[in-house]
Amino acid sequence: MDSLLVKFLCDSANSHDLDSLNEWIQDQKHDSTFKQYVKTYYAITVSMNELDKKEIKQQLFKEIRKDKNVFYQKRMGTFFRYAALIVILFGVGFMFRNQFFPETESVNPTIVPRTDQITLQLDNGEVKVLNTDTNGSIQSANGNLVGIQKGNTIKYENAKQETIIYNTLKVPNAKRFNLVLSDGTKVHLNSGSSLRYPVSFLPGQKREVFLEGEAFLEVAHDKEHPFVVNAHDLNVEVLGTRFNLSDYGENSDTEVVLVDGLVSLEPLNNFDENSKVLLEPGYMGSFNRSNKNISKSKVNTSLYTSWVEGRIVIRNEPFENILIKLQRYYNVTIINNNESLAKERFNATIETEKETIEQVLNYFKQVYRIDYEVVENKVVIN
């Protein structure tokens, strides 16, 4: 079994090996063997914080089973490691710090993420700072109550309006926020995103909102009033469905991932009926903002929606893309001086609400030998 564990971590285990390891790791009598093996294998490479062995074992078991289902996955070069390895190493490293190593000071200064505020701009231009630890009321310019804030969620009441009145919610990096619109549609806004939306939708008109950044939407069904998300030059129209829309400015594509229901994608200012693309559940539509073309492909939707639960799931992504995500989710500045590393591809699963940016960077340093330092609160990769 020691040999199988080595083969698993080195990406050389076959389907039969994974079956055997899957069965072995469930047996409680192997706890001591597992602990001793892990201690020996990682003692010279890992030192982070605290996590118990039970959680490590559960994570390893989960990754073995997951990898059994995607055994066809190919290697992706020198820096590509097993998809499960980051989850295992985080857990193992947390356990070792208190159990096997004395407390030591970090060689790098502490990284202090910037703290920006969530803001709500009302219809009269007034900007309110939202504190997720408090509750309060949301009023229109004329003083009418239109919504209630409870923690990290604002729920709008179905107040009757004669004209469209807009609010704009802006969520900075490292934070997330939720909305329940007046029709019952639920919107989860990701870090670095903003949504402009009506306080109340008018009868006989489309329900239209304007997104910059990323959001996961659970649209309330209303056959008479289609729901439209405007993302730069793309309209996404639905009747009632759940989907993820990513429209960050630094990306060349606007991506729509459909979990269930049916949506249509249509470039703005394009009167060709053939330009519409219909998406089915399990598919992603990619709109190239330069050439205005739309393509679609079959995807694992959970990879694109995991952020709603506080996870970054990275599969076969270039390092430069990973750094963009880390900057957004942790609100830090990262400068990469290693150009050859930018295109290398990695797999990772990062619990953004549990792991600090320092723990993530230490993982890359320990396992992939990626050197970094903190200079004036900026992360510099050498």
Q: 9-13, 92-96, 232-236: which range is least confident on average?
A: 92-96
User: Got the DSSP string for 18-86?
Assistant: HHHHHHHTT-GGGHHHHHHHHHHHHTTT-------HHHHHHHHHHHHHHHHHTTTPPP-STT---TTHH
Whole-angstrom Cα Rg for the chain: 24
Question: Are 144 and 31 contained in the same domain?
Answer: no
Question: Does pTM surpass 0.85?
Answer: no
Is the pLDDT at 51 greater than 60? The verdict is no
Token digits for 75? 């290697």
Question: Are 289 and 314 contained in the same domain?
Answer: no
Q: What are phi and psi of 18, to 5 degrees?
A: -65, -35
Question: Are 122 and 238 contained in the same domain?
Answer: yes
Domain CATH number, residue 332 = 3.55.50.30
Question: Are 297 and 318 contained in the same domain?
Answer: no
Q: Of 302, 326, 361, which marks where a domain is finished?
A: 302
Question: Are 17 and 151 contained in the same domain?
Answer: no
| pLDDT tens per residue across span 78-122 | 333 333 344 444 444 444 444 444 444 445 677 888 878 999 999
Burial class (CB in 10 A: 0-12, 13-18, 19+), 75: exposed
> Does 214 map to a domain?
yes
- Comparing C-alpha atoms, which of 38, 32, 7 is closest to residue 21? 7
Question: Are 211 and 283 contained in the same domain?
Answer: yes
Q: Of 43, 73, 100, which marks where a domain is finished?
A: 100
Domain CATH number, residue 159 = 2.60.120.1440
Question: Are 314 and 296 contained in the same domain?
Answer: no
Token digits for 258? 């459909």
Identify the pLDDT of residue 89.
Answer: 45
Report the distance separating Cα 19 and Cα 27, nearest Å: 14
**Count of domains observed in the chain:** 3
Question: Are 205 and 336 contained in the same domain?
Answer: no
Residues of the domain holding 172: 118-302
More confident residue, 128 or 16: 128
234-238 and 263-267: which strand pairing? Answer: antiparallel
> Does 352 map to a domain?
yes
Report the distance separating Cα 289 and Cα 294, nearest Å: 9
For residue 183, count other CB atoms closer than 10 A to its CB.
17
| pLDDT tens per residue across span 142-179 | 777 888 999 999 999 766 777 889 999 999 999 999 99
Question: Are 214 and 297 contained in the same domain?
Answer: yes
Question: Are 244 and 351 contained in the same domain?
Answer: no
Report the distance separating Cα 168 and Cα 211, nearest Å: 10
Is the pLDDT at 229 greater than 90? The verdict is yes
